[in-house]
Structure 1
Amino acid sequence: MDPHSPAPFSFVSLLTSIWHNRWLVAQMVRREIVGRYKGSVIGIFWAFINPLILLVIYTFVFSVVFKARWGSTQPDGQPEFAVILFSGMIVHGLFAETMTRAPTLIVSNVNYVKKVIFPLEILPVVAMGTSIFHSLISFLILTIAIWLVKGFVPWTAVFFPIVLLPLIGVALGLAWALAAIGVFLRDVAQPIGLLMTILLFLSPVFYPVSALPQQLQPWLFLNPLTFIIEQMRTVMIVGTFPNAIGIVSYGVISLGFSWLGYAWFQKTRKGFANVL
């Protein structure tokens, strides 16, 4: 690879890079997961315990303390509220974990920047892979909870990966953009955590879309998480087919986001070494 030649930024080069480096991505994801829990007494079981603790706390606060109900037609039982809430938390958690890490991905891996042959563009993919791993753990917990509450798991749960794919594309595009911006503007990492908390409460995680006034409901769908959360509950809890037209439309938009973020990353990467 010639360090003086422009980095490729076409959509084809995006797919080619991910495919050619798939084994490296897998190894780095595995290393990150193992390294995160290395040295702890119960190790990787923390990946199961953390979402369970959050689920219990949020369910207690909203369904017991605040007496929240999920719309006028939903039962008041705490188990039902818990699985509805947790399904939204999985979607938000996948997005938030990737976004929180994105601005520091290059800054915290300076040694990779100095290596011309290292494909820096896979670092956001590795971060996404780690987020997907934790989302799969949460998905397993959600599946067990639904089975305990309803006595069965809707067969439409098999559409779970398809529902999440468009959000993964959007998150990857934003991660590439934030990773590049974070090199030149370190302050961008500071408000991300706060923004993700705000996004949590501006998403239909703790309340249904129908809880908002009619005139405000369309605005909520400008939030990239809203449609995915709604479709997640459709396939996991309601047990009906996802909105195919919506998924395809969102998927096309997510491809555009992915490519724009990747193109920005590739256009600016030549300046990383100078700044760092």
Structure 2
Amino acid sequence: MPRLSFFLPLAQRSLTLQFARREVLGRYRGSLLGLGWSFITPLLMLGVYTFVFVGVFKARWPGAEQSGGVEFAMQIFAGLMVFNLFAEVATRAPRLILDQPNLVKKIVFPLEILPWVTVLSGLFHLLLSAAVLLLAVAAIKPGALAPTMLALPLVLLPLLPVLLGIGWLFSALGVFIRDVGQIMNFVVSLSMFLSPVFYSLESLSEPMRDLMFFNPLTLIIENVRRILLHTQWPQWEALALYTLAACVFAWLAGLFFQATRKGFADVL
């Protein structure tokens, strides 16, 4: 049985990075600005959010009313950075194996790296979005940049096994149950509104707030906002427990992937 691990073997790392690079560049191949769109798109989106929430809705974020709609736009942008990473992995997972029938028939090809490719591609775009957000913070709130921002990789790290688990589980299920792709599109759309992307947890009642933490995106979104926008350190204990649960989920999903991969070629 092929080896599956959160830490890619050295022989597979270069292959994974090569596929991830091809994934990122392939998205913009043929466009005039090429890779520049990966930076311009989040910049334009932040501008749109600012216009809508400052100029149209006059929105205020709980606890930061004095900053007006600009703060609201940055809070939403921070939440969407995390959600978009999850959405990219979740929506693509059911077709990861289906779209690579030639690789499935190559016995020596490590199919388990395909979720890694999607995750790394999503992380690349998330980091560019984070750079745009930090530029906005520096421009709008001079002096607001704090050392807590350096904790961003540590906050995102616990989400990694969750994303890999989703990739392994649903890429395997998608081979045998073709409806999984449609189901995941619905789940992702629903998750946008069941995650604290467009609203603050402080605006919810206490029981609803507790229920929200069963959503695996909630803790990550809240801590990204803490370190980037509120100059607070992450909730280390909560993140440690989250990491443990995430690793268990990824391990079980990996076992399922390895147990079913023998039947991929027969179905495809």
**TM value normalised by structure 1:** 0.91
Unaligned 5+ runs, structure 1: 1-6
2:128 is equivalent to residue 160 of structure 1:
no
Is 1:134 aligned with 2:125? yes
Question: Larger deviation: 182-191 or 47-56?
Answer: 47-56
* 1:38 equivalent in alignment to 2:29: yes
Q: Contact conserved, 1:80 with 1:149, CA < 8 A, in 2?
A: no
CA 103–18 in structure 1, closer or farther in 2 if over 3 Å, else same: farther
Distance 2:177 2:55 in 1: 43
CA distance in 1, matches of 2:54, 2:170: 36
Equivalent residue for 1:173?
165
Alignment of 1:1-276 (within 5 A): 7-8=1-2, 13-15=4-6, 17-152=8-143, 153-276=145-268
Tell me the distance in 1 between the aligned counterparts of 2:29 and 2:2: 37
**Is the 2:226–2:232 Cα contact (8 Å) retained in structure 1?**
yes
**CA apart distance, 1:259:** 0.9
Q: Identity of paired residues, percent?
A: 44
Structure 2 residue identity aligned to 1:242: P
Pick which of 176-185 and 208-217 moved more.
208-217
What is the TM-score when the length of structure 2 is the normalising length?
0.94
Bigger relative contact order, structure 1 or 2 (CA pairs below 8 A, ≥6 apart): 1
* Equivalences, count: 267
The structure-2 alpha-carbon separation of the partners of 1:117 and 1:97, relative to structure 1 and needing over 3 Å to count, comes to same
- Structure 2 segments unaligned to the other structure (5+ residues): none
Q: Is the 8 A contact 2:94 2:175 kept in 1?
A: yes
Q: Is contact 1:84–1:233 with CA below 8 Å preserved after alignment?
A: yes
Worse-matched range after superposition: 257-266 or 69-78 = 69-78
CA shift, 1:178, in A, is: 0.4
Name the CA shift for 1:235/1:72 in 2 (closer, same or farther; >3 Å).
Answer: closer
2: CA distance, partners of 1:63 / 1:257: 41
Are the equivalent residues in 1 in contact too, given 2:61–2:71 (CA < 8 A)?
A: no
User: Against the structure 1 CA distance between its residues 60 and 52, is the aligned structure 2 distance closer, same or farther, given a 3 Å change threshold?
Assistant: same
Residues 36-78 of structure 1 show CA distances to partners (whole Å, capped at 9, x for unaligned) of 1111001011112222333333444444433332115532523
Paired AA for residue 46 in structure 2? L
2:19 alignment partner AA = M
Q: What is the distance in 2 between the residues matched to 1:16 and 1:224?
A: 22
Pairwise CA RMSD: 1.7
